[in-house]
Structure 1
Amino acid sequence: MKVLALAAALACALTAPSLAGCPPEALGVSRTLPVGTVGGGAVGFKTYPQTLRLAPGEVVLTFDDGPMPGRTEKILDALSSQCVKATFFMIGRNAAAAPALAARVAKEGHTVAYHSMTHPVLRRLPFERARADIVSGYRAVDKAVWGAASERPHQPFFRFPGFADSPALDQWLASLDMVVFGADLWASDWEPETPQEELKLVLGRLEKNKGGIVLLHDIQPRTVAMLPQFLQELKMRGFRIVHMVPGPGALETTPAPAGWFSQTERILAGQGRPVGKVRRPLSQ
C-alpha cells in the first residue's frame, strides 16, 4: 500500500502544471487524483447516484472508442500543447489495429482504460458472451499498449458502451477490482453538430454542472476540430484539469444531490436501436 501511495504521489508531481517545458499560459493539470479500486465501484451522475470527489470547477477529460489513426493523434497533439492529461477508454479491436497509436497514449502520460472488444450493447448479450467481449477487449488493449496480456487487466478502469451495464457484469468487474465509469456530462459528439455547436454545448453543460467527468470521443472529427479551442476556453473560464490514475484502497465518491435519476436508464428503456445510434436530447 505504501508503494502505491508513493507511486500516486510521484504521478501527481510529474503531471503538475509546473512541468518543465509547459508554458505558463497552458491549461496544465491542477492535480492528479488516485482513484481507489479495491472492491470495484461505479461513478458518473449520468448513470450512477455517485461520482468522483471533485471540487467545483474541476474537470476530468475522458475519450471513448479510439484509437483511430488520423484523429487520435490530433487529440494527443492538442492535449500536449496545453500540457493536459486525459483518460482514453479504448476499444480492443481498434487498439489491435493501431498498436503504435495505442502505445503512444500511455507513453505520453495519459491513463489507458477499457471499452470492450467490439462495442456491443453488453447488457443485451448472454453473460458469458458479454464477459468474453470485455476480456478480449482488455487483452487486446494490453497487448497493443504494453506488449503482453494476462488473465487480469493491466488497468482497473472500464466503461460500458452506451453505459449499458448489468448487475451480473458489475459484480464480476468488482471481483477484478475494476471501477466502472459513467460520466457527469457528455458532449453529445455522436450528434450531427458542428465543432462550434459542440463547443457551445459542452461549455454550457460544464458551467451548469460546475465541472465533472466529461465524455468525448477521439474518433469524432467534430471533437478533433473543437478540442484546441475547448482547452483554451477551459483555461479562460477558470476550470481546472484533474488527471485520474489508479490508486490504493477503495473508491471514494460524492453522492448525487436530491432528485437524482439515471438519464442512461431512461434512454435505454425508451429506445430499440443499438446504444450509440440513439439521438439523445441535446438539452441533457
Structure 2
Amino acid sequence: MPKIVVCFPQGRHKALTMSYDDGTLSDKRLVELFNRTGIKGAFHINSGLFGTENRLTEEEASTLYEGHEVSAHTLTHPTIARSPREQIVYEIMEDRKRLEQMAGYTVRGMSYPNGSFNQEIKEMLPYLGIEYARVVQTTGGFGMPDDWHEWKATCHHNKQLMEHAKTFVELHKSQYLYLMYVWGHSYEFDHDNNWELIEQFCEYVGGQDNIWFATNLQIVDYMNAYKQLKFSAACDFVYNSTALSIWLNVDGNSVEVPSGSQVKLV
C-alpha cells in the first residue's frame, strides 16, 4: 500500500494566512501591501458600522478587498457571550446578509467580536452558515487547527512577528503541514507607529514559491475537500467529487487529483 499524505496546492507543505478585524481606513494601506507582496487575508467586518468613526464606507469596502476574503465580525461588534441568543443570531445573520450583498458571494467565516464566545455560540455557528471562527488566543506554533470554530492564530502581529516568520520560513520537514496565521487590526500600525513591522514581514515572507498564500476560507475549503476524497480500499486510486483540485504526496511524489476525476496512485 502506498504512503499517502495530503499537501497544499502544487505539493507545498507550508501556508500563510492573515486575519484583520473591523474594516477600518487603515486597511487600505494594508491591502495595498498584501497585493504588492502576494499575501492573502481575511477581513472581518462589522457591516452595521460602515462609515462611522475611522471605518470604511460600504462603497470603499466593496472594491478594496477584491482578491481577499470578506468575512463576518457581527453587525455592530457586541460582546456576544453576554448577549441573548436572539441577538446573536441577528448580529451574525444581518452581518452576513449585508456583506454578501456587497461582496457578491457567500460569507462563511467570522472572527469573534471582542474575542467573545462560548461553547453554546460555537455550537450555533454551523446553523448560521459560519464554517470557521477565529479567536484572539494564539498558539505560537504552526499546526493546523483542531477546531475550525475556535481557530487560534500563530500570533498577533505585535507578538514576535519576525521571530515567528524566520522560524516558519526555515521549516523544511515535508512530512508535516505547516500553517502560519497572523491576526490584528490595521489601525494598530497607526497607533503604534510601526508600519515598518508589517512591511518587513510581507517583504520577507511574500513571493516564496514553497508557501501557499491563502485566505482563511480557502484553507478551510481545501482541507474539507481533502476529507471528501474517495480512496479505494488498497489506496491505489482515488476519486475527487469536489470542485477543488487536491494535492497528495504519494511515496514521495506530488500528485494532483483534479476536480471530478479519478486518479491512479500506484
TM interval, short-chain normalised: 0.5 to 0.7
Of 26, 43, 65, the match for 2:22: 65
- Match in the other structure for 2:78: 120
Q: 1:251 to 1:128 in 2, by over 3 A?
A: farther
- Match in the other structure for 1:247: 221
SS at match of 2:91: helix
Residues in 1 aligned to 2:163 and 2:210: alpha-carbon distance in whole angstroms: 13
Give the number of the structure whose alpha-carbon radius of gyration is greater.
Answer: 2
| Structure 1: tracts of 5 or more residues without a match | 1-29, 33-53, 147-152, 189-197, 254-284
Please state how far the C-alpha of 1:243 moved relative to its aligned partner: 0.7
SS at match of 2:183: strand
Of 177, 183, 186, the match for 2:155: 186
Of 74, 79, 84, the match for 2:34: 79
Q: How does 1:1-284 map to 2 (within 5 A)?
A: 31=9, 55=13, 57-66=14-23, 68-69=24-25, 71-95=26-50, 98-107=57-66, 109-146=67-104, 154-182=106-134, 183-187=152-156, 198=158, 201-207=160-166, 211-220=179-188, 221=190, 222=192, 224-235=195-206, 240-244=211-215, 245=218, 247=221, 250=224
Q: 1:241 to 1:218 in 2, by over 3 A?
A: farther
Q: 1:163 to 1:143 in 2, by over 3 A?
A: same
Residues in 2 aligned to 1:239 and 1:123: alpha-carbon distance in whole angstroms: 40
Q: RMSD of the alignment, in Å? A: 3.5
Q: With the length of structure 1 as denominator, give the TM-score of the two structures.
A: 0.54
| Structure 2: tracts of 5 or more residues without a match | 1-7, 135-151, 172-178, 228-266
Please state how far the C-alpha of 1:241 moved relative to its aligned partner: 4.3
SS at match of 1:212: strand
Alpha-carbon contact 2:15-2:214 (below 8 Å) kept: no
Overall identity of the aligned pairs, in %: 14
> What amino acid does structure 1 have at the position aligned with 2:182?
V
Q: 1:137 to 1:227 in 2, by over 3 A?
A: same
Higher strand share: 2
| Higher-RCO chain (CA-CA 8 Å, sequence separation at least 6) | 1
Please state how far the C-alpha of 1:31 moved relative to its aligned partner: 4.7
SS at match of 1:232: helix
Number of residues paired by the alignment?
184
Please state how far the C-alpha of 1:154 moved relative to its aligned partner: 2.0
